[in-house]
Amino acid sequence: MGRGRVELKRIENKINRQVTFSKRRNGLLKKAYELSVLCDAEVGLIIFSSRDKLYEFGSVGVMKTLERYQRCCFNPQDNNNERETQSWYQEVSKLKAKFESLQRTQRHLLGEDLGPLSVKELHNLEKQLEGALTQARQRKTQIMIEQMEELRRKERELGDMNKHLKIKVSHELSTFDNEGQSYRAQLPCPWNSPGHNTTFPMQSNAMECQQEPILQMGYNQFVHGEGSSVQRNMIGESSIHGSWVL
């Protein structure tokens, strides 16, 4: 016959109770260890006997398991803040490491702190500098070409503007000459009359046309050109108050 089901209740016999405690304690500790190994679980076990003796087991340490238990169960908000703080701390650490690496690379490109570098690292640095120099020269050439094209465009614009101004000035001069000729043709001067000799200079004819009578005290002394038929008033030919003026 099979063994019957044992009723779970406190063992009254002190000796039997102690023996049962020892057997089942060892079995429980064994099961906890097997669970942590087989399932890769974090297991923590604490046992207090009736005589206040402590028995414990922790796969990663009982104190660490208790701290984790407290963070997860009693202070969830603090746990979230701690996780967020830890995440930010890791991010800051990564950025700081990257910043230091960039600073170190910049110093190497400037020719500083080259002592710790090996031959291979110096060769790679030389390649980087040559590549950067090539790109800088290409960019400089491109900018110079663009500036030359811009100057040529401005030169063409100024040339077109100059041609336009020349045509405009020529048109204005021709218009001014035509108006001057029309105006001279309308003047009532002797050279406009038929039969007038136009071989005389324009300036003298204009002066003759513009002469007007002048009131003058004393005597007039007219001087004509050589070969003129008009007599010249000589000194002493006119008298004032009946006496000759020398």
Please indicate whether residue 7 or residue 128 has the higher confidence score (pLDDT). Answer: 128
C-alpha pair distances (Å), 49 with each of 29, 31, 53, 59, 207: 14, 18, 5, 21, 149
| Cβ atoms of residues 84 and 90 within 8 Å | no
Provide the CATH number for the domain formed by 7-74 in this structure.
3.40.1810.10
Whether pTM > 0.75 for this model: the answer is no
Residue 213 pLDDT grade (very low, low, confident, very high; cuts 50, 70, 90):
low
pLDDT at residue number 87: 81
Report helix, strand and coil shares of the chain as percent, to nearest 5.
60, 5, 35
Residue 113 pLDDT grade (very low, low, confident, very high; cuts 50, 70, 90):
confident
Q: What is the pLDDT of residues 236-246, one digit of tens each?
A: 444 444 444 43
Q: What is the pLDDT of residues 3-47, one digit of tens each?
A: 667 678 888 888 898 899 999 999 999 999 999 999 989 999 999
Annotated domain spans of the chain? 7-74, 77-109, 117-186
